[in-house]
Amino acid sequence: RVAAMQVPDSYQGIHLPEELGPKDVVTIQEFFQSGPKMALHAKYVLQLLHGAQEVFKREHPTAVHRIQHVPEPGDGKELWVLGDTHGQLQDVLWLFHDHGGPSQNRTYLFNGDIADRGDRAVEIFLLLFAHKLVWPNSVYINRGNHESKEMNTMFGFSAEVRRKYKGTQVLALFQSIFDTLPLC
């Protein structure tokens, strides 16, 4: 159904293929880094959300499996543990710039509270989901108390999603993904 969505000629943002590769992750990051001129088209947002949802469901099929097992980094590999980014995309971009982004040799564990307060949490999630789709073992996300419907309503993530993507489909998909994440 997402593949059938049409992107109008008037859309001035980036276009993504159905199968993401490393260059597409860089394109997404550069698009978000350029500022909030326009939101990523809903077709690509839904593509990233559905893809991430499938990955997380495979990793955590039941509540019993919702414990995050992050492999210990081997020789020449790094593990970075972050938390409480609260919609501050520039902080995440700076960390990726300073330390390098997620890759086969660099794993990031995000310990929740990515959502709310800041106005770019959508972009943080989409960027992390893109990394997860290309390098599944490079990004792990735990659910903080701000990855919940109640907190999203009180602290702004729901409003951010609705402002950028009218309707409830994108927000419902985010909530469904949050429900599959292991608790922090």
Residues labelled as active-site residues: 146
Which CA distances in Å does 76 have to 53, 102, 162? Answer: 30, 14, 42
The answer to whether 117 and 155 have CB atoms below 8 angstroms apart is yes
Q: How far apart are CA 168 and CA 127, in angstroms?
A: 21
Query: In terms of DSSP bridges, do strands 139-142 and 78-82 run parallel, antiparallel, or are they unpaired?
Result: unpaired
**Residue whose C-alpha is closest to residue 82's, from 59, 60, 98:** 98
Residue 47 CB coordination number (10 Å): 23
